[in-house]
Amino acid sequence: MATTPAAQPTGARPLHRPDEPPAGRPDAAPRWERPALAAVLVAAAVLYSWGIGHAALHPFYGAAIRSMAEGWRAFFFGGLDASGSITIDKLPGAFWPGAVCVWLFGPHTWAAALPQVVEGVLTVWLLHRIVRVWAGPLAALIAALALTLTPVTAALNRATIPDTALTLLLVAAAGALQKAVRTGRLLPLITCGVWVGLAFQAKMLQAWLVLPVFWLVYQLAAPGTPVRRALRSLLAGAVALVVSCSWTLLAWATPAADRPYLDGTTGNNPFALVFGYNGLSRFTGDSTAFGAVASTAASRTTGNTGWSMLVNHTVGPQIAWLLPLAAAAAVLGVVWRAGQPRTDALRAGFVLWGGWLVVHALVFSVSNGNHAYYTAVIAPALAALAGGGFALLRTEYEAGGRRRAVLPAAIVVTALWALVLDLPTGFVSWLLPVAVMLALCGAVGLWSRGPRTSPRMVNGALAAGVAATLVVPAGWALSTLDPLYAGASTSPMAGPVGNAYAEALHNHRTVVRVGLGRPSARDRALLSYLTEHRHGEQYLLATQAAYTAEPLLRAAPEPVLVMGGFTGNTPFPAARQLTTLVTTHRLRYVLLTSRRPATADTAWVKSHCARVRPTAYGRHTDGSFKLYDCAPNS
Count of CA atoms in the C-beta half-sphere (13 A) of 369: 14
Whether 512 has a pLDDT exceeding 80, the answer reads no
Count of CA atoms in the C-beta half-sphere (13 A) of 141: 19
User: Which pLDDT value is given to residue 623?
Assistant: 79
User: How does pLDDT run across 582-592, given as a tens digit for each residue?
Assistant: 999 999 999 99
Given pLDDT bands bounded at 50, 70 and 90, which one contains residue 634? low
User: Which pLDDT value is given to residue 499?
Assistant: 82
User: Which pLDDT value is given to residue 18?
Assistant: 34
Q: Are 477 and 150 in contact (CB under 8 A)?
A: yes
User: How does pLDDT run across 95-110, given as a tens digit for each residue?
Assistant: 999 999 999 999 999 9
User: How does pLDDT run across 619-628, given as a tens digit for each residue?
Assistant: 877 778 999 9
User: Which residues are bridge partners to 589 per DSSP?
Assistant: 629
Mean pLDDT of the region 498-517: 79
Whether 508 has a pLDDT exceeding 70, the answer reads no
Long-range contacts of 76-82 (CB under 8 A, 24+ apart): 77/251, 77/259, 77/260, 78/260, 79/260, 80/260, 80/263, 80/546, 80/549, 80/553, 80/562, 80/565, 81/549, 81/553, 81/558, 81/559, 81/560, 81/561, 81/562, 82/553, 82/557, 82/558, 82/559, 82/560
**Strand, coil or helix: 117:** helix
Given pLDDT bands bounded at 50, 70 and 90, which one contains residue 335? very high
User: Which pLDDT value is given to residue 295?
Assistant: 58
Model confidence, pTM: 0.93
Whether 23 has a pLDDT exceeding 60, the answer reads no
Whether 11 has a pLDDT exceeding 70, the answer reads no
Mean pLDDT, all residues of the chain: 90
Residue burial 180-202, b: 16+ Cβ < 10 Å; e: rest: bbbbbbeebbbbbbbbbbbbbbb
User: Which pLDDT value is given to residue 14?
Assistant: 47
Spell out the alpha helix ranges (H) of 336-376: 345-366
User: How does pLDDT run across 527-571, given as a tens digit for each residue?
Assistant: 999 999 999 999 999 999 999 999 999 998 899 999 999 988 899
Cis peptide before 573 (omega within 30 of 0): yes
User: Which pLDDT value is given to residue 450?
Assistant: 61
Mean pLDDT of the region 111-137: 97
Q: Considering only CA atoms, which of 501, 522, 512 is closest in space to residue 591?
A: 522
In Å, how far are 241, 306, 378, 389 from 363, measured between CA atoms? 20, 10, 12, 24
User: Which residues are bridge partners to 159 per DSSP?
Assistant: 56
- Please, what is the angle between helix 379-399 and helix 345-366, to 10°? 140
Mean pLDDT of the region 250-264: 95
- Find the Cα–Cα–Cα–Cα dihedral 167, 168, 173, 179, rounded to 10°: 130
Given pLDDT bands bounded at 50, 70 and 90, which one contains residue 7? very low
Q: Which helix (H) or strand (E) holds 333?
A: helix 323-335
Q: Are 470 and 494 in contact (CB under 8 A)?
A: no
User: Which pLDDT value is given to residue 3?
Assistant: 40
Mean pLDDT of the region 471-478: 97
